[in-house]
Structure 1
């Protein structure tokens, strides 16, 4: 018999952990959505994204609150799974003031994924899979089909004509634009997609440059890595009037020049924007609130030019990187260079609990302090303090040229012209802190018209209380199971009897002994 080592026990430990984690079911909010809805005309607005003061501000002169891993909820529908990052689903979050929804997308051929009407097999290479919302792995946490989830976003947009929403999707399995584009069109969101225009001194691979706010799927508008020049981000009112109220980033998409198919798909679905052509992020693998910083972490190995939003970064920039995660002057300059090049800054502000070197879960303990709007120096790890620190570190001198060119008459948060506040803030358990208050302070507004989250049921509350110790209970159970396996193996390896280890060394009829 082979020697049993830590390396052979590790898969058993991991398997036990996965089996011990509650198996979630798709959220009840998901329903089948008709594939060709009509896009309603926007209503005249005096309030944009819950504030009349935001209507005349450029999209990139506003801080948007984001829900990290928004489809993956920690509630009774998932058995209060420790893998959940939010307590409420995406549409509840939108009604409460969240304006950025982030999600992980996997291309899965799981048997429950197949649908005769989905049509995604052809777009994905004919292997019969569909795009699904899965947390790390579809066997761990599966929130259903991307198309169904997008359908609920479309319904929400139809009922809230004065709101601009941003989606950030992680392309975990490196699918092309066409696969995503087909899903967006079937969900009825293609008509809402914003296609960026360019400044007058820019050039494009297209034959013509569209005006900001164009949403024609077949237009020759330039977007993402099709273009050079500084992106013109319009005001919220402009987006609302044009009814292009959905901004979509995907991390990451193949380079447009990588194939003729990608070139064609970039013209068919120009509203699907490669995230790291437009956005830079701070570090996301944080386990200690004191480690939050403002340094550029992704895209990695990138050089920036202040005259262009394009750079040498590749689609592989979605891979985790810590090469830029420090806080020295060189890395701070990288963030300032990215700002000057027109990149939109995204603050990752959430904490992981690291159970093992390979198992990280969202940390719910201390989330009120993590999401706190406090800007006090003593409140280390508070969201308000993180935002304030980055505004100071980046400085007004590094404000993006896109910001100044697109909204010369628009004020930024707290009335400061040319401010370098984060455009996106991504948090876990958004309703705690409250995180929305920190974002309102950054924007210098008082939000109105937001819906309060429903009060959790008693069963939900008790489930969350139990969840406080669930993670460590799983680890302890896994360790005990592994120890038990070792004991059983050792006993039978060293005993001579087949029937019972308690009778070893005693006299038994032939046949009870191992040869």
Structure 2
């Protein structure tokens, strides 16, 4: 029954792709490298802005006929080389029943971005080759057990490179001023920060951090440029008018919709990720959030990060 349902979903998705195909070859442009701000190396992790990729492993390519389930045009290796420093993905149980965690967009029948272990190996290669860099991972945990997450980190050696907060700062006691500087994290070789949306237990696995004890998010599921907000939307127990002393994640990606199906809006990505100050542009949203928070927003989470001028926005946030 499960296999039949997955096949039906996949068939519907492929039909939707054909109905909506406007440009079979979008010609994505390979992104150039970011320009870091050297002074931030000696400032806290919590004092700077990083570009992040939403559903980082869900990649549209010519091979998958530019699948509408894809949120990016380039794979994680290219993302990291370009300057992306937060990778977001969804962890799912393996449909085949193994203990392997699969990184899928909503449903593994629609877009399977590969295994968690392979994803972590890519991250490990980048960290090994770039000993002064730091990466943040954010996983939406749709159900895999904590021990399976931990096993993937152990098997790739990333448990040894992971940041572990002081025990006294768990359970929501970690404030912005408690985070170390990038220089400190590099010197101790704790250069990977991982947040799990659910299922974390820092008493058992101290390097898989419960997202909502450390980070708040703005709203998502945006279908109109006028809907971008800076107010905390998750965790839901926060008053939206209150800005907590926690890391901020600004969701800035746009959806399109057809016959009730919602999919990442690639057509508008150049405007969505633009460095300008018009409504709906990343530059405007980032500056507005900086004003609301009275500090830099920490993570700007994007679809199609290579479109527009995302790294110009990041540099502008960090340089001033």
The aligned counterpart of 1:80 is 66
Indicate yes or no: 2:183 matched with 1:183. no
**Conserved in 1, the CA contact under 8 Å of 2:174 and 2:214?**
no
Question: Alignment partner of 2:93: what SS?
Answer: strand
**1:72/1:141 contact within 8 Å kept:** yes
CA distance in 2, matches of 1:362, 1:286: 10
How does 1:275-354 map onto structure 2 within 5 Å? 275-300=211-236, 302-303=237-238, 331=240, 333-334=241-242, 336=243, 338=244, 342-354=245-257
Deviation sequence 1:403-436 (CA, Å, 0-9, x none): xxxxxxxxxxxxxxxxx22111000111111111
TM-score, normalised with respect to structure 2: 0.87
- For 2:191, the equivalent position in structure 1 comes to 245
How much does 1:83 deviate? 0.9
Could you give the per-residue CA deviations for residues 374-420 of structure 1, whole angstroms, max 9, x where no partner exists?
13xxx1101010011112223x3xxxxxxxxxxxxxxxxxxxxxxx2
Deviation digits for residues 443-463 of structure 1 (CA, Å, limit 9, x no counterpart): 017xxxxxxxxxxxxxxxxxx
CA contact (8 A) 2:134 2:182 kept: yes
Task: Name the counterpart of 2:3.
Answer: none
1:170 and 1:61 map into 2 onto residues whose CA distance is 24
Tell me if 1:422 matches 2:297.
yes
Match of 2:206 in 1: 270
Equivalents in 1 of 2:196, 2:108: separation in Å? 19
- Secondary structure of the 2:63 match is helix
Structure 1, gaps ≥5 residues long: 1-10, 23-47, 111-126, 198-220, 257-265, 304-329, 397-419, 446-515
Larger radius of gyration: 1
Deviations 1:251-305 (A, max 9, x none): 1225x4xxxxxxxxx34421100111110000111000111111111111x15xx
Distance 1:165 1:290 in 2: 31
Alignment of 1:118-197 (within 5 A): 128-173=98-143, 175-197=144-166
- Matched with 1:234 is 180
Equivalent residue, structure 1, for 2:289: 390
Task: Give the number of aligned pairs.
Answer: 298
Aligned-pair RMSD on alpha carbons?
2.3
SS of 2:157's partner is: coil
Q: Name the SS for the 1:106 alignment partner.
A: strand
Conserved in 2, the CA contact under 8 Å of 1:21 and 1:81? no
Shift of 1:19: 4.6
C-alpha contact (below 8 Å) 2:94/2:102 kept by paired residues: yes
User: 2-side partners of 1:356 and 1:390: how far apart?
Assistant: 33
**CA–CA separation in structure 1 for the residues paired with 2:35 and 2:182:** 8
More strand by share: 2
* 1:409 corresponding residue in structure 2: none
CA deviations on 1:333-384 (whole Å, 9 max, x unpaired) are: 22x2x2xxx2111100000011233x21100112111101113xxx110101
Deviation at 1:243, TM superposition (A): 0.8
- Aligned to 2:258, the other structure's residue is in SS state strand
Deviations 1:128-148 (CA, angstroms, capped at 9, x unpaired): 332001111111111111111
Write the distance in 1 (CA, Å) between the matches of 2:10 and 2:145.
Answer: 32
Task: Determine the C-alpha separation between the residues in 1 that align with 2:136 and 2:223.
Answer: 27
Q: Which residue of 262, 276, 291 maps to 1:360?
A: 262
Change over 3 Å in CA distance of 1:152–1:145 after alignment to 2:
same
Cα distance, 1:76 vs. partner? 2.1
Larger relative contact order, structure 1 or 2 (CA cutoff 8 Å, min sep 6)? 2
2:13 pairs with 18, 26, 41, which one?
18
Distance 2:269 2:218 in 1: 19
Q: What's 1:468 paired with? A: none
